[in-house]
Structure 1
C-alpha cells in the first residue's frame, strides 16, 4: 500500500477549524490530534478567496488518507496551495528533536499564524513540553509578550520580516529569549550578522510543511533527519516527513515515492552543513546565467534607500529573462534603478543587477508569512503568470 492511500477500515474525515482569534483555543483539538484520535485541519484567516482555496485543497467531504492526523495547506508560493498529510508521529518527532537541539523543553511565544506549519508547531511543541504558549497580541510590543512568558527556557519562532522589525525596535526583548528560530523564507546574511552582533540567540531553520516544519537548524539536520543535495535539488528523509498530498496520489508518488521528500530547493551540503540557495522554480535565467532572486533581495535590502525587496523574472527578447525588482523605499528615500544596478552588480555580478524597478508600499505575504512573490509580480507588471 502506498504512503497516502485510503484505508479499507472505517473512513475517517477531517474536522475543519477556522483559525481562532485566540490560538490557544486550538490546544485541546491539537492534543487529540497528536494522540492520533481526531484528524484536524485549520482554515487560514483572510479574504474569502484564500479561505475557499484552502478548503478546496483540504477536501473536507472526502475520506481521509490512512495515517494522516493533521492536514496543513501550503503557502502556494509556487502555485496553488496543497493539503499536506502529516501523521501525529511526524509532529511528535519534530517537536522532540527541536527541544533536544535547543537544550530542552521550554515555553514558546506564538507570533505566527496557526494555519501554517510554523505556528501550529509552536502549539504542538508547547503541548509536548507541558507548557502554555504566550500569544503575541496584535500591535503588542514584543517586550510585553516576553515579560508575560513563564520562567525557564523561553523560545520564539519568527519570519525574517519580524526579526528585522524587532531587531530595529526591541533588541532587548530578543536577547531575553533562549532561542529565536527564524525560517519560512530566506534570511539575509547581513540581517543574521546584525542580529548575532546584537546578542540575539538566532537559529536559522530550513524546512517546509512536508517536513513538519524546520528540520535543519543552522545548516545541521535535526536528530533522525537525513539530507542530501545534488543537481536535482535538496532531498530530506526521516521521521518528520509527511505522508503526501491530500487527494493527489501522482504528486505524492513524485515527491515522496522513494522514501525521500524532493523539495525543489537548490543548495549544497559541505562537511554535513547545508546551505540553501533558493527555489529551483524561482531561478531567473538571464543571458544564460542563473540568478537566485533571494540573493538579489538580500543585497537590495542592504542599500540605505531600500527597506524591503522582492525580485522575480520577466520574459525578455534579448536576455531570455530580465531581473525585475520591486522595492519598498526606506523612509524619506527615493531609490532609483541607476543606483541599485551598480550596487547589486558590484556584489553579485552584472547578470544579477535588476533591469526593471518598481516601487511598492509594502511586501504582501501569504498566509504562512512568506513574501508573495507571485502576487507582487502580478500587481506591478499585470502578468498573472
Structure 2
C-alpha cells in the first residue's frame, strides 16, 4: 500500500481531490443581498490557482434570519445561484473542487459588520429577532433569542434542503452542513444552550434530532454521487457536566456516518472565547484523530495548521484525511505550491506562474 502524504489524491464518492489541502470556510462579510461578487471570485479563485485540492465556501445562510450579518453570502433564493456558478467554473478550471457550506447562525446572528465591531444589533437598530433551541444567550453581548416552535423547526429543515438543492444547481462538488461553532445545530445538541422539554430537547437523541433529520433530508435530495460533510464542534471547551464532550462527538459521528455523511470536520468551541494558552499548532487535530479511529469515518483536521511538514504529518500518520486551513491561506494563497516545493513534490503549476516556481 502506497504511503499517504499531503499530496495524495482522495476520492469521496465521485469527487476526486488532487491533494489533501483544503481551504477552510472564512466569512468575508462582502455579499450584497446574499449575492457574491468580484471579491469572492478573486478571493476563492486565487486559492484555486494556488493549488488547493478543495475549497469550502464561507457559511452560506439558508434564510435571512440565519445570517450573522447583513453582509453574509447565502443560498436562500435562486438569484444567489448565478454568482456561484461563475466562481465554481473558474475553480474547476484550476483543477480544484468546491464545497458549499450551508448554515444558520441562530442566536449568534443579527450582528454589525466587522468594521463596526460585530456588535449585536437590536431589531430597532436594523437587526432582527434571533431564534434558537431555547431562550438562552450563548455568551455575554449576544442576543437573547426566542425559542423556536416545532413549526419553525420544520421550516428551517426545509430551508436547508432548498439551499442544498441550490448548491447542486450552482455546480458545487460537495456540501458541508455547518453544525459547530455555537451556531444553530450546536445550540440544539449542546445541553449548555438547549433547555427544551419537547422532542428536540432533553436526551442526547432528542438534542441531535434536528441535525440528524436535516442531514437525512439533504442526503435524500442531492445526488448519491455527491459527498456530504458535516462540521461539528467536537467539544464545548467548558468545564461543566452539561458541556458537549468528545465522547458525544464520537457517537454523533457514528450516527451521521450511518445516514450518509462522508466526512466530519472536527472543530471545537463556539460558546466561549478560548484562552490563548490553549491554542497551539494542531491543537484541535486530536479530535479528528479520535473520531476517525473510533468510527472509521473520514475526517478533516483544523486548528493552527500553518506549516507544510505539519500538515503532511497529519495525513501521513493517519490522524486525519484532510488538512483544513484558514488563516494560513489568508497569509499565503499559494500555500500548496510552496508546500510542494518544501516537500519535494512535483505538482502542476499554472503556466502563467511557472516563472516564479
TM-score w.r.t. structure 1 length?
A: 0.28
In proportion to residue count, which structure has more strand?
Answer: 1
In proportion to residue count, which structure has more helix?
Answer: 2
Q: Larger relative CO (CA 8 A, sep 6+): 1 or 2?
A: 2
Larger radius of gyration between Structure 1 and Structure 2: 1
